[in-house]
A and B are shown apart, each in its own frame.
Chain A
């Protein structure tokens, strides 16, 4: 058992990596349109046991010390062939769009003004904003990059409250409890979650009252174990 045992030690996204077949378009989108600086690149060959092409691995800063990265393999032809999706994963015509959109990268901005500034940059480019939507507590704009990867830029409409952190943890605990039961659906989740609310919610509120106000600012406290 180490003294680091209970600590949340990771520091965000070192890089989220994706392949590209269009490095020029990718640079025009991230560096030139969105203004994300190129912060690193590696030129390498495939020296391991696989036979693979020379490649460039390049990184854009997406704020907070986090980076989005791409692999460009010289001479590699696109591998996927479906009509929907992106250059990494493509799908047939009958794949629902909501499923295709379920994997995407969302970047955070601090205000409506900043979100609208990125809207302006995208609308002035070859990749205009496709949708602007208000969700429960966030508002987002969406577009697709030259590789077909969906990019969202999102702002919070208000700060996250502590009870939302509790609620998220109860949802996940309920989900873990019921997801593998045959036929389990949203109804089963809501029933299980109600049980957990009754078990936990008052105690949580008492604990909140004992914590000084500054500690209640949004920060990851680690999982609330079942």
Chain B
């Protein structure tokens, strides 16, 4: 596996705003594998919930997969991933 770490999010309408906020973060690339957004970075990523505007039900079910990251924080403020 390469050094980049990834967070996977399914590409459905409700999740577009989350991918969009991630895309605007420094040091973060958002690509696609099939119907999944792949949020890739060398450094820990933090996505602000309020910036996405999504409802709680959508927020708390948005992560489809983790490679190299672990979830450090996932609450009403942010989704933050960090080193394993």
Contact = CB atoms under 8 A, between A and B. Distances in A.
A in complex with B? yes
Contacts of A194: 6, 8, 64-67
Contacts of A164: 10, 12
B16 interface: no
Contacts of A136: 14, 55, 57-58, 61
Contact of A187 (B10, B35, B66): B66
Contact of B71 (A158, A187, A202): A187
A10 B33 CA distance: 34
B55 A134 contact: yes
B79 to A, nearest CB: 12
Interface string B10-53: 11111000000000000000000111100000000000000000
Interface string A162-174: 1110110011000
Interface residues of B, number: 22
Contact of A167 (B10, B13, B67, B70): B10
Contact of B64 (A162, A167, A187): A167
A201 B57 contact: no
A202 B66 contact: no
Nearest to A168: B10
A162 B12 CA distance: 10
A197 B8 contact: yes
B33 A198 contact: yes
A198 B64 CA distance: 12
A204 B36 CA distance: 11
Contacts of B13: 158
A31 interface: no
B33 A197 contact: yes
Nearest to B54: A136
Nearest to A196: B65
Contact of B66 (A166, A170, A191): A191
B69 to A, nearest CB: 9
A203 B58 CA distance: 27
A205 B11 CA distance: 12
A193 B34 CA distance: 14
Q: Which of B8, B13, B35 has the most CB of A within 10 A?
A: B35
Given A134-B57, A135-B57, A205-B35, A193 B65 contact: yes
Given A162-B35, A200-B34, 17 more contacts: A136-B58, A137-B12, A158-B13, A164-B10, A166-B34, A187-B71, A190-B65, A194-B6, A194-B65, A194-B67, A195-B65, A197-B36, A197-B64, A198-B67, A201-B33, A201-B35, A205-B35
